[in-house]
Structure 1
Amino acid sequence: MPIKIDTIKKYLEERFDGKVEILGVKKLGTFTDTIKKLGYGDTFLVTFRREGKDRSVIFSTMRKDKYGHQYLWDRANVLMFQYDAGQRLPKHAHPLDIGYFNAEGNARSVRDANIYFLLTEKVEGTDYFLDLKRLKTEAITDLDIERARVLGEYLAEIHSEKKDEPELYTRKIRELLGHGECIMGIIDGYPNNYEFFSDNDFCDIEKHCVEWRWKLKQYTHRLCREHGDFHPWNIKFREGTDFSTFDRSRGEYGEAADDVSTLSINYLLYSLLKHGKLDGDYKKLHDIYITTYLEKTKDQEIFKVIQPFYAFRCLVIASPEWYPNHPADIRKKLFNFTRNILATETMNIDEINRYLE
């Protein structure tokens, strides 16, 4: 929905208790220079001046779509979670308010909801996917290596917070399969009888995932704090290794393998696009990231539970809707990975390329 400057001005004056001057409104996330072509909503940067000081904030809204956001409360649930849980994760952009746009386009902090938005602080920096994109044509640097290491350390740190609530772990695995944004929802977003993966193939994937759901019921002791969507579009670096994360998603507590696989699969994706396999500088970054995480956590058990999480992320990055420009051979390798990883009892992280065959 279009942002109305006069209603935004009124809202900001109420929120920050004083007169403001709107300096600019800019829509973000157009995906014009990225291999990713779809998001769940619209984001606007609003710059304003109050009492002589300039400030920037982000308005985030969600659109109605087929990924489990069909109803108003579906979309409200996501933004309410981000507002609440985003305040309790280290290095996460600080949520400033939760509100909505009503039918007339007015922004309110509560009541009469029509479209919800999330207001967060504006964090400076460069999206991490741009680092990975750069490595397609440039050599790896020491800073690239340090950033991969820091990301592994960060996950180890947040995953160190455990929670004894078996039902919450079970829900996490159940939603990994059945949530509109996860395995079954993403599969339902594919065309019928997709040219690279038939309906029967997808049915087999879902059957394997149900088997994994029952396997993972014995791992409820692994419940820990997580980010939930730790991919390169949700990480922004400033100078050196200082960074922030964005868009914490799908639960405050869950399985560590969720975060670990999410970034891992993106190193693999960029490497596939350059080398056709995990190789070269991308492999170096991937291995540093994984090794650092394992050194900090001593979590070898993760390779007994990570399989359905890798499958989920493969289904996302193989999707012709989310990533429409992949060559056919890349999609085929990603589907091979999905099928093979689900058939593996204990993953060998050193043999990722074998799962592509």
Structure 2
Amino acid sequence: MINKKSIERYIKNLFHGEALGVDIKKLGEGVQGAGFLVEVKTRGRTMQYVIKGLFPEGLEHDYPADRAGVFLLDLEEFRNLPQHVKAVDVLSEMEDGSIKSIGGGREYYLLMERAKGKHYFNDLAAFSKKERLEPPDIEKIRSMTSYLARIHSVRKDSRHLYWRKVRDTIGHGECLMGVFDTYPDGTISYDEMAAIEKKCIDWRVRLKPKFRRLCQVHGDFHPGNIWFQNNRDFILLDRSRGPWGDAADDVTALTINYIFFSINNSGRVQGPYLEALNLFYDRYIDETGDNELFEVLAPFYAFRGAVVANPVFYPDVSTENRHKIISFVHGVLDDESFRVDKVNEYIKTR
């Protein structure tokens, strides 16, 4: 589980050459991970430390970033509780097998390339001035469906990761429950939030047997993260919450915006927005053959609906239209399977 030679080199460097010997042996393991005793001999004394590692499956320890997050919090907080052992450092094993310290940071930042182009929100806003989709609009939708069909064709066999994606969609701090917790008081009642959350938990049970749907995802395929250079080519920003999930996550992240923008413009889903919604699903299903998709969309639409109905994120939406989005969420959750031809019925359900 650990690279003993690299850790030995790290310990010797930590002691600035004063370590005469380093002995590492396994202490044991439990449900979450394993512990290793590190004995360091210097002139005149022997010191003992323990290295802990976490198993990389289940309990939300699936990705290296998950495990790093656990240990970084341990490093920060062990010292703040009386009579608790102190954490010394957080170690990262690099691609070449070397060990690097990542502990002690006050904050963490991501350095990345700059995206160039225009985000897809521009196109959605322009739909309001059109009677129907134009050829460039159609080409962009075809480009996005083809891209999603391609990445979603990469599959992985792991019920734990699928169950985690469904669970995270409901309970993660960036997803349904976390988004609801950012709503200003009075936006919707706590009881209504709870009703939506409970319906999603029922959907979680229904989706559990569908773990073979697990596939590669972007995780936040919404218009602000899709930057077009022309009518066909685009670059993506901000992949989120892990590389594996259900295709429904990416599909709803985009398509909720056809629904949201249309409601915000006219109070119902119509015109180019409805045409885009139909075109997207027709093209995507044609390219993937994933007719089962409609049976799993509901909790993902609930999360995405909660996002676009949030006045913190979208303050210019009227109260009436905000409630229509919440009604859409209820309508989709109450149906057995999502149907595009019922989208305006869902809006009227409450």
**TM-score normalized by the length of structure 2:** 0.69
**Matching of residue 261 in structure 1 with residue 252 in structure 2:** yes
Q: Distance in 1 between the 2:269 and 2:219 partners?
A: 24
Instruction: State the secondary structure of the residue aligned to 1:236.
Output: strand
- Could you list the per-position Cα deviations for residues 49-86 of structure 1 after superposition, in whole angstroms to 9, with x for gaps in the alignment? xxxxxxxxxxxxxxxxxxxxxxxx98x85xxxxxxxxx
Does the 8 A contact of 1:159 with 1:226 survive in 2? yes
Which residue in 1 is equivalent to 2:297? 306
Query: Offset at 1:322?
Result: 1.2
Aligned counterpart for 1:356 among listed residues 344, 347, 350: 347
Query: Offset at 1:276?
Result: 1.5
- Could you list the per-position Cα deviations for residues 270-304 of structure 1 after superposition, in whole angstroms to 9, with x for gaps in the alignment? 11122221111111222211111000111111111
- Could you list the per-position Cα deviations for residues 207-257 of structure 1 after superposition, in whole angstroms to 9, with x for gaps in the alignment? 111111111111001000000000000000002211011100011100110
Q: Distance in 1 between the 2:283 and 2:215 partners?
A: 18
Return 5+ residue gaps in structure 1 as ranges: 1-72, 78-108
**Matching of residue 224 in structure 1 with residue 226 in structure 2:** no
Q: Distance in 2 between the 1:136 and 1:349 partners?
A: 20
**Matching of residue 181 in structure 1 with residue 135 in structure 2:** no
Instruction: State the secondary structure of the residue aligned to 1:115.
Output: coil
Does the 8 A contact of 1:148 with 1:286 survive in 2? no
Aligned counterpart for 2:161 among listed residues 160, 163, 168: 168
Q: Distance in 1 between the 2:229 and 2:252 partners?
A: 24
Amino acid at match of 1:230: F
Aligned counterpart for 2:275 among listed residues 259, 263, 284: 284
Query: Offset at 1:167?
Result: 0.7
Number of residue pairs matched by the alignment: 255
Q: Distance in 2 between the 1:264 and 1:216 partners?
A: 20
Q: Distance in 1 between the 2:347 and 2:134 partners?
A: 28
Amino acid at match of 1:318: A
Query: Offset at 1:112?
Result: 4.0
Aligned counterpart for 1:120 among listed residues 112, 120, 128: 112
Query: Offset at 1:111?
Result: 5.5
Following superposition of structure 1 onto structure 2, how do residues 2-151 of structure 1 map, counting pairs within 5 Å? Answer: 112-138=104-130, 140-151=133-144
When the two chains are superposed, the root-mean-square deviation of aligned CA atoms in Å is 2.4
Does the 8 A contact of 1:196 with 1:332 survive in 2? no
Which residue in 1 is equivalent to 2:335? 344
Does the 8 A contact of 2:115 with 2:237 survive in 1? no
Q: Distance in 1 between the 2:181 and 2:155 partners?
A: 33
Following superposition of structure 1 onto structure 2, how do residues 198-209 of structure 1 map, counting pairs within 5 Å? Answer: 198-209=189-200
Does the 8 A contact of 1:146 with 1:241 survive in 2? yes
Amino acid at match of 1:152: T
Q: Distance in 2 between the 1:153 and 1:286 partners?
A: 15
Query: Offset at 1:324?
Result: 1.1
Q: Distance in 2 between the 1:338 and 1:206 partners?
A: 11
Q: Distance in 1 between the 2:347 and 2:169 partners?
A: 22
Instruction: State the secondary structure of the residue aligned to 1:244.
Output: strand
Query: Offset at 1:138?
Result: 4.6
Return 5+ residue gaps in structure 2 as ranges: 1-64, 70-100
Change (3 A) 1:202 1:111: closer
**TM-score normalized by the length of structure 1:** 0.67
Q: Distance in 2 between the 1:166 and 1:155 partners?
A: 22
- What is the identity percentage for the equivalent residue pairs of Structure 1 and Structure 2? 42
